[in-house]
């Protein structure tokens, strides 16, 4: 009886996670990442790339806040709202976030007659 040959002893390559692939190309435009992903056998969309990058920025922001002196994130009344405000400011950019808040402040003061 002929001997059965064993399968190759090569270790299978770990499949690339889409998110890892996207984050490995931080400065590349989404359109180019879609093309590179297609070459690598990954089906990506620009929307998915923007979502992954946004989630990554949010995670980094929260990690930085937790590492800040005093834990960065307050507890108690308004802590969740403050955390949300900081996250939104990080997404919009601090300058734009201040503009939006000032605009709403003027609207409220106008409604109060001040």
Tell me the C-alpha distance between 56 and 9, whole Å. Answer: 37
101 lies in some domain = yes
Task: State mean pLDDT over 40-62.
Answer: 91
Tell me the C-alpha distance between 10 and 31, whole Å. Answer: 34
Tell me the C-alpha distance between 11 and 14, whole Å. Answer: 9
64-113 confidence digits (pLDDT tens): 777 766 565 555 656 777 777 888 888 888 888 888 888 888 888 888 88
42 lies in some domain = yes
0.85 exceeded by the pTM?
no
The residue with tokens 């939104």 is 88
8 lies in some domain = no
Question: Domain range holding 58?
Answer: 18-112
More confident residue, 51 or 13: 51
Domain count of the fold of the chain: 1
- Kindly provide the residue ranges of all beta strands, DSSP E only, lying in 5-50, ordered along the sequence: none
Other Cβ atoms less than 10 A from the Cβ of 79: the count is 11
């Amino acid at each position: 009886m002929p001997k059965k040959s064993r399968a190759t002893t090569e270790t299978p390559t770990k499949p690339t996670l889409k998110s890892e692939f996207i984050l490995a190309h931080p400065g590349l435009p989404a359109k180019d990442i879609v093309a590179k992903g297609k070459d690598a056998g990954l089906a990506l969309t620009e929307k998915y790339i923007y979502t992954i990058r946004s989630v990554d920025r949010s995670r980094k922001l929260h990690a930085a806040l937790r590492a800040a002196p005093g834990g960065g994130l307050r507890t108690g009344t308004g802590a969740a709202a403050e955390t949300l405000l900081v996250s939104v400011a990080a997404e919009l950019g601090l300058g734009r976030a201040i503009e939006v808040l000032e605009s709403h402040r003027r609207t409220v003061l106008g409604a109060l007659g001040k």
